[in-house]
Amino acid sequence: MTDILTDPATEQLAAAHDQSRNGPDGQSIPTLTSHVALKRLIMLINPLSGSVGPRAVEEATAILADYECESTVVELDNDGFDARLDAALAAKPDALIVLAGDGTARTVASRAGPHGPLVAPLPGGTMNMLPKALYDTTDWKVALRLALEHGTVRNIGGGEISDADGRHTFYCAAILGSAALWAPAREAMRTGRLKLAWIYARRALRRAFTGRLRYALDGFAGRQTEALVLISPTISRAVDEDAGLEAAAMNPADTGQAVRLAVHALFTDWRQDPSVRTTAIRTASVRARSRIPAVIDGEPILLRHEARVRFLPRAFRALAPDLPVALEDTV
């Protein structure tokens, strides 16, 4: 495990794991965290999601067998998802461990809520924004052991976007407007798919300035913007945990500034761009002449032409180690 962990904080946790108690045969036996009681665990796995892999059920079962607790592994599929999630919640485990796509992890966390079981959303999706924020790794096996051996209760704040179609919860960030079109380009750049990144970037530039958003923050008079970014206190460095969501309005005046902003979005921290203004908010409303492109915790979605946002100070309880968050380029 220590070969995978390169962050100093996670290396310290890995070193602590090496000091676990020994069994009768002299081999090290991993011990569960002392910060919270973990007697019954349910792990939900979708082998077809993102970076999970076809052997995930077998591998997860083997890892859970190392620990002295009752554990059940449930394989998810699209047809029986709701029924299996309902059954998992009804069983009232101490923790629900989720190894699936970003959207599935968000759904489980939302259904568990602030009074349900602890949720451990492992990195099994494409962007893995929430798992990276909680575990600072994209290796789900490492994240699983960190949660089990060093996890504590972490109250996770977030936001809720509601439109005519329903409600959408986010725990890391939501991008509303044309800036959302840059998310696929950035993800392609991160994974080294330069040609695909260029295609997405050209598409985003073509659609820039075709429809601006009018927004209001905490009830104050609305303004217009090219895009609005809402960032949870889980990963924001600009707002305190209870202050609300970090709201960033992006206002490039022309195509040249849009290109500059796109470069910041692809290669650096987009907050450095002079056309971006940020503030802490608890509610917001947005509207546009047409449907609003959005990216919610890495998942693209098309909102209706009007939507409202509210801050959730305690959206759900996560099982995660108390790691320093080093996420400067997450959103």
20 DSSP assignment: P
**Residue 183 pLDDT exceeds 90:** no
The pLDDT value recorded for residue 36 is: 96
Please provide the DSSP assignment of 279-305 as one string.
EEESEEEEE-SSPEEEEETTEEEEE-S
Cα–Cα distance, 45 to 282 (Å, whole number): 34
Contact 236, 244 (CB under 8 A): no
In what order do the strands lie in the sheet containing 276-281?
Answer: 276-281, 245-250, 227-231, 173-177, 292-296, 299-303
- Three-state DSSP class for 92? coil
Cα–Cα distance, 93 to 189 (Å, whole number): 39
pLDDT per residue over 250-287, tens digit each? 764 444 444 444 444 434 455 555 556 678 999 999 99
The pLDDT value recorded for residue 71 is: 97
Cα–Cα distance, 189 to 284 (Å, whole number): 31
Cα–Cα distance, 232 to 170 (Å, whole number): 8
* Helices of type H across 34-101: 56-64, 81-90
Contacting residues for 315 by C-beta, under 8 A, at least 6 apart: 109, 110, 113, 114, 156, 157, 158, 169, 171
Tell me which of 155 and 188 has the higher pLDDT: 155
Cα–Cα distance, 243 to 233 (Å, whole number): 8
Contacting residues for 148 by C-beta, under 8 A, at least 6 apart: 30, 32, 33, 38, 67
Conformational region of residue 136, where left means phi above 0, alpha means psi within -120 to 50, and beta covers everything else: left
**Residue 315 pLDDT exceeds 50:** yes
pLDDT band at 317 (very low <50, low <70, confident <90, very high): very high
- Both tokens assigned to 18: 């090496």
Contact 297, 174 (CB under 8 A): yes
Mean pLDDT of the chain: 79
Distances (CA, A) of 202 to 97, 182, 191, 298: 39, 9, 18, 20
**Residue 40 pLDDT exceeds 90:** yes
Alpha-carbon dihedral of residues 117, 122, 127, 133, nearest 10 degrees?
70
Out of 20-34, 113-127, 300-314, which region has the weakest mean confidence (pLDDT)?
Answer: 20-34
Tell me which of 105 and 237 has the higher pLDDT: 105
Out of 188-192, 262-266, 280-284, 294-298, which region has the weakest mean confidence (pLDDT)?
Answer: 262-266
The pLDDT value recorded for residue 229 is: 85
pLDDT per residue over 57-88, tens digit each? 999 999 999 999 999 999 987 778 899 999 99
What is the average per-residue pLDDT within 236-249?
Answer: 82
Q: What percent of the chain has pLDDT over 90?
A: 44
Question: Is pTM, for the whole model, over 0.85?
Answer: no
